[in-house]
Structure 1
Amino acid sequence: MPIHIGLAGWGDHDQLYISVAKAGSKLRQYAKHFPLVEVDSTFYAIQSKERFAKWLEDTPENLHFVVKAYQGMTGHQRGPSIPATETNEMFAAFREMLEPVIAAGRLTAALFQYPPWFDCTQANVRMLRETKARMDGITCALEFRHQSWFTEEYREKTLAFMEREQWIHSVCDEPQAGVGSIPTVLKATDAEATIVRFHGRNVSGWNQASAPNWREVRYLYRYSEAELLDWADKLRLLEQQSKHVYVIFNNNSGGDAAGNAKRLMELLGLTRPDGGSPNEPPAPVVEQLDLF
């Protein structure tokens, strides 16, 4: 199926795990619902390749991974410039972490999401080129958060740059809340793959980074039936431009991501990985009892 739908992370979607007692079993149960997952823990810390290998071991071969780049690699940590030696070490550790998922043929892309202050400048274009060179040989997706990349003046140039440098376009659905948000641009830059990420449309909560619970507020949104129907048409348009369209729901704060994802699967006529209906409960994970 050329459209693949999943969620950002697998730990916060309680409605999927009613029959699962162990936290370690959640990813296995998740894989019964969706064929795609975004690993967002890697944004906060580069994981060991042994941990990634365990995630692969615990899940079926048809579960694929979008892996979010570590925040130090995308400039989210403000402050003095990171020395080149530390940058080299970060990228080397990130690449090493990806070795098992690449070897298994289950990496959709490493996702480089840049912060709201990463604007369209020559210095930042140069940084993107350097990043792509550091990730040579690994499929990478690019997502902006600063509106300047998609102004009327630069939109086509940005897309042409992404295509030329072989970045998969990560298309966004997010609030239109000033320069720190981008419009939905329905244009593929890679014939093989396009990623679409749903962040919700909570305009009032989008720019509340100073609030103590800003992450919860930002992604607190439930897509309506009309909005999902509209996106079903948009995904079919993207499907004409790329062989595969990978969709991630990131509106997790209110527990809405899984329900929205399953409803969009229904609207598109997609099934669970086991062929069942999206809203039918799959067979629960059988857990081994710990005797000692």
Structure 2
Amino acid sequence: MATRGKSGTGSSYPSNVHIGIGGWTFEPWRDNFYPAGLAQAKELRYASRHLTAIEINSTYHGTQKRTSFVKWRDETPDGFVFSVKANRFATNRRVLAEAGDSISRFLDSGIAELGGKLGPVVWQFAPTKQFDAEDFEAFLALLPASVEGVKLRHVLEVRHESFACDAYVKLARKYKAATVFTDSPKFPSMADLTADFVYARLMESNARLATGYGPKALDQWTARVQAWSEGKAPDDLPRVSDSDGRLKAKEVFLFFINGAKERAPAAAQALLGKLGWRPATDDNL
């Protein structure tokens, strides 16, 4: 595998792996991640040079300005990736087939300005939203393959146990949309590949551990990420279907989200280190 370019170093780090956190503005991180005295305006610059990806969550709660996406793109190094959480008005509705206007409004808000730094778009559904094959397929049919000339990759974060079925897996594969894998016992954990990339959101960090996850857990995730990055399927994660759908992962996106959020950057950095990545130096912070 080739190594990542300007954003970090490490001869063994697979360039198709992106690991990070949700957002970059969180007050407790100013005690244990960001250097003392670092201006808040420079936090994204710092985070993007000590991680390889960030999931933008503010887009879930409200529309962001097009100029913000331009600014975020320009502040981050080559090779860095943002995933973007879709606006909640598109997914938190009784009839998903009626989400067309909300989907368009979100996609047209300026996410294409991220250009080559645009990773997957995450469509998160409420824990109460049950699987209705007809309505869900109508929603998937509304998701375009590109916006403003920029290719889109879609991720489905389904949070009701009714989605843990063959019918859902087949439908997601039909539309080439990835399914979030989570380690949280609150939501269905499905490692079934439904697209040609993997998207994991890890939510079980422990505040008592400096790195959020202990050494054994980090070793396990290192092995899983390495397997995915090589187009293999980890054999220790739950799946719904016996079939692999003839899919192999070409890219891996993994974010430490929720749980003990104050430990998320340390967890991401620990996993990156185990995979052979080292942060690039930046004297302009």
Q: Deviations over 1:180-216 (max 9, x none)?
A: x112x2232222x2111111178xxxxxxxxxxxxx9
Q: Deviations over 1:134-157 (max 9, x none)?
A: 97752211111111111xxx2x33
Question: In percent, how many aligned pairs have the same letter?
Answer: 20
- Structure 2: any 5+ residue segments left out of the alignment? 1-14, 232-247
In structure 1, which of residues 159, 162, 167 is the aligned counterpart of residue 172 of structure 2? Answer: 162
Q: Name whichever structure is richer in helix by fraction.
A: 1
Q: Which residue of 2 aligns with 1:261?
A: 268
Contact 1:6–1:248 under 8 Å retained in 2: yes
Contact 2:145–2:152 under 8 Å retained in 1: no
- TM-score normalised over the length of structure 1: 0.74
Counterpart CA distance in 1 for 2:145 and 2:282 is: 42
Q: Which residue of 1 aligns with 2:113?
A: 100
For 2:83, what is the secondary structure of its paired residue? strand
Task: Name the CA shift for 1:250/1:284 in 2 (closer, same or farther; >3 Å).
Answer: farther
Residue identity in the other structure for 2:214: S
Q: Deviations over 1:212-254 (max 9, x none)?
A: xxxx9xxxx9322212212222222322231111111113645
Q: Deviations over 1:48-93 (max 9, x none)?
A: 1111111112222222110001111111xx6x87995xx5443233
For 1:33, what is the secondary structure of its paired residue? coil
Task: Name the CA shift for 1:266/1:109 in 2 (closer, same or farther; >3 Å).
Answer: same
Contact 1:159–1:189 under 8 Å retained in 2: yes
Q: Which residue of 1 aligns with 2:157?
A: 143
Counterpart CA distance in 2 for 1:245 and 1:227 is: 18
For 1:163, what is the secondary structure of its paired residue? helix
Residue identity in the other structure for 1:112: W
Q: Give yes or no for the alignment of 1:198 onto 2:202.
A: yes
Counterpart CA distance in 2 for 1:72 and 1:43 is: 8
Q: Which residue of 1 aligns with 2:218?
A: 228
Task: Name the CA shift for 1:45/1:284 in 2 (closer, same or farther; >3 Å).
Answer: farther
Q: Which residue of 2 aligns with 1:182?
A: 188
- TM-score normalised over the length of structure 2: 0.76
Contact 1:222–1:251 under 8 Å retained in 2: no
Task: Name the CA shift for 1:63/1:252 in 2 (closer, same or farther; >3 Å).
Answer: farther
- Structure 1: any 5+ residue segments left out of the alignment? 203-215, 275-281, 287-292
Counterpart CA distance in 2 for 1:82 and 1:6 is: 30
**Which aligned runs of 4 or more in structure 1 are off by greater than 6 angstroms?**
80-83
Q: Which residue of 1 aligns with 2:22?
A: 8
Counterpart CA distance in 1 for 2:119 and 2:63 is: 18
Contact 1:8–1:39 under 8 Å retained in 2: yes
Aligned length: 244
In structure 2, which of residues 243, 256, 269 is the aligned counterpart of residue 249 of structure 1? Answer: 256
